[in-house]
Amino acid sequence: MTFRIVLKVLRRIAGLLLAAAFLSGAFAAKSVAEIVSIKFCNEFAYEVFVAIAYPQKQGDWLSRGWLGVPTGTCADFDSAIHVPTFYYRGETDYRLAGGSRRVRYRWGEHRKFFVQADSFNFYDAENGKGGRFEDFSKFLDNTTITGDFSATVTFHADGKAESKLELPSH
């Protein structure tokens, strides 16, 4: 008889735990898209170096760079990154343009994050130390769609950048 009482109590506890998990959102569907791959393509005349910034769970931002993307190629930034949104910055090396004038092509606007000349990871990238603030562009606003998506940013020959969200290929 005591075995049946213990079993009944355990079933009741299991039911309560399952209900609590459901109500806390553990089994709720995602409300926004998650970007599961980030790819950069370069149709521009020169190699483009890319940095990204994305939110951390604790609310601050991480900026990372640089990924070199030679002309005519595409490259994945990091397959382990799964984020709801991100910002990106592209830039070329300095080039001589007419005499001794040096030119660097850049892509970025909207929000500033920390970068540096060499490879970097800046935690708290909006308030970092040891680098310089540069402008980053926001990837598409994806707050109205659900599911997992692949992000592609293309630097076109005319100097414009284009962002696309696509269903990931399996």
Using 50, 70 and 90 to split pLDDT, how confident is the model at 2? low
- Collapsed DSSP state (helix, strand, coil) of residue 120: strand
Q: What's the pLDDT score for residue 33?
A: 60
Q: Per DSSP, which regions of 5-59 are E strands? A: 34-42, 48-55
**Residue 66: pLDDT over 80:** yes
pLDDT in tens, 13-28: 444 444 444 333 433 4
Using 50, 70 and 90 to split pLDDT, how confident is the model at 133? very high
Q: What's the pLDDT score for residue 142?
A: 55
User: Tokens representing 141?
Assistant: 């606003």
Cα 79 to Cα 131: distance, rounded to the nearest angstrom = 25
Q: Which candidate, 137, 39, 119, places its Cα nearest to that of 79? A: 39
Give, in order, the Cα–Cα distances in Å from 112 to each of 60, 133, 152, 168: 13, 6, 21, 29
